[in-house]
Amino acid sequence: MPWFAYGYFVRQLDGSIVPAGHDFGPTPDSYKLGDSLGVRGDSEGFVIGMLKGEEAKLAGGYDVFVSTASLGFLRTRRGAAIC
């Protein structure tokens, strides 16, 4: 069975995207929009966008590109398009 490379990126308050790590998953569909990625430090990360296939490869060289944000970021940007 092939494994899929996941790249994780955090959306900052200024709109920039910062690399946050990588790992592997058994399918390209391990996460969906809105899924929690758990708590790290004092904030919980949520999936706010994803790219798969060729788009993900072009964006960061991964099979799946996962854009995340903390709950604090989401509250700050309430009502705004963040993906």
With a cut of 80, say whether residue 71 has pLDDT above it.
no
Asked if residue 18 is part of any domain, the answer here is: no
Asked if residue 25 is part of any domain, the answer here is: no
| Residue-wise pLDDT tens digits, 22-36 | 999 999 999 999 999
pLDDT of residue 77: 52
pTM, two decimal places = 0.77
Domain boundaries, position 6: 1-13+37-83
User: What mean pLDDT comes out for the span 59-69?
Assistant: 90
Higher pLDDT, 81 or 5: 5
pLDDT confidence of 72, banded at 50, 70, 90?
A: low
- Looking at residue 14, the DSSP 8-state letter turns out to be T
Contact assessment for residue 74 and residue 48, using Cβ atoms and an 8 Å cutoff = yes
Domain tally, the chain? 1
